[in-house]
Amino acid sequence: MSFTAKIWDTEFPGVIYNSSGPRCTTLEELSSLWDSTSSAIMMKSCSPEPREGNPLPRYSEVELGSINSIGLANHGYKKYIEYAAELKKQFPNKPIVVSIVGFSHEDFIMLVTAFQNEENVDVLEVNLSCPNVVGKPQIAYDFEWSDELIAKLFAIPGDKPIGFKLPPYFDPIHTEMMAEVLRKYPVSFITCINSVGNTLIIDPETEQPLIAPKWWLGGLGWDYVKPIALANVRSFYKLLGDKVTIIWCGGIKSWVDVFEHLLAGASMVQLGTVLGKEGTDCFERIEKEFYTYMDKKWYTDIKQVIWKLQEL
């Protein structure tokens, strides 16, 4: 069976790895991803300076998923450069993906420059879609601002593949507008989707919301967002084809979810909420289920599934 993946020249031993979010902030957490069957080590979204993030409580699990308003808590990009060097020293054969977030064009330019010059990082995912920073909009909802920023990032010297983590789009015209921007540049991949932002969950027993930041509003994940993620994957593949690798993030907890998103056009998937809930054992469980089903269907190559959704 051929269930490997590639982002430009970077080889991934499988199609499933972690999203930037749960269990990828510290060196210990990142090292545990090597010990798992995750196909890469994705690091926490890092900013120019360390951030404590939003006040507690800022994360809660519920039956159908999770709600969070972490607020981009991270150790700062210099620490993740150190982590990348240590990880490559210990685990040279697994790709390291850095997630980058800034609050101005200058922030993003500085971070991309730093990681383009960092030999221990293989792939750059630029986060344009965090919904949980008070007073800061999601960049990828402003198409002109995104266009200007992406142009500047691709003017930076370096040969590492760059992709963008996008928010959920709810209107086809918005997906089309972002695709029009992306087509202008040598974008390696997009990750669809970040959590569905600014949602509210109430505990009827306590008569209180589940999280404190942003007037109790947070990003929704898991079962709640799967149909939205599916729609975004399908829409972007229809608009971009196979020129841009699509990585699906949002609502994965079993082989069924992986299979459906490959049918919709994704080439790889990231695990978020399920990783937070189950720990790194979730990679092996979901991969085994998925490979067993692929064998049952007589599929021997992942390309036999991607964008093969049957029309009615």
Cα(235)–Cα(265) distance, rounded to whole angstroms?
A: 9
Bond before 22 cis per omega within 30 degrees:
no
Token look-up 């630029």 returns 126
- Give the torsion through C-alpha atoms of 259, 265, 270, 274, to 10 deg: -40
Cα(32)–Cα(245) distance, rounded to whole angstroms?
A: 26
What token pair was written down for 100? 């980058």
Please confirm, yes or no, whether 282 is among the known catalytic residues. no
Phi, psi of 177 (to 5 degrees): -65, -40
Q: Which of 106, 21, 66, 86 is nearest to 224 (CA)?
A: 66
What token pair was written down for 25? 């902030």
Which residue in 130, 192, 249, 282 is the catalytic one?
130
Cα(171)–Cα(189) distance, rounded to whole angstroms?
A: 21
Cα(129)–Cα(177) distance, rounded to whole angstroms?
A: 16
Contacts of residue 311, Cβ cutoff 8 Å, sequence gap at least 6? none
Please confirm, yes or no, whether 130 is among the known catalytic residues. yes
Which residue in 45, 129, 195, 267 is the catalytic one?
129
| Active site residue ranges | 129-130
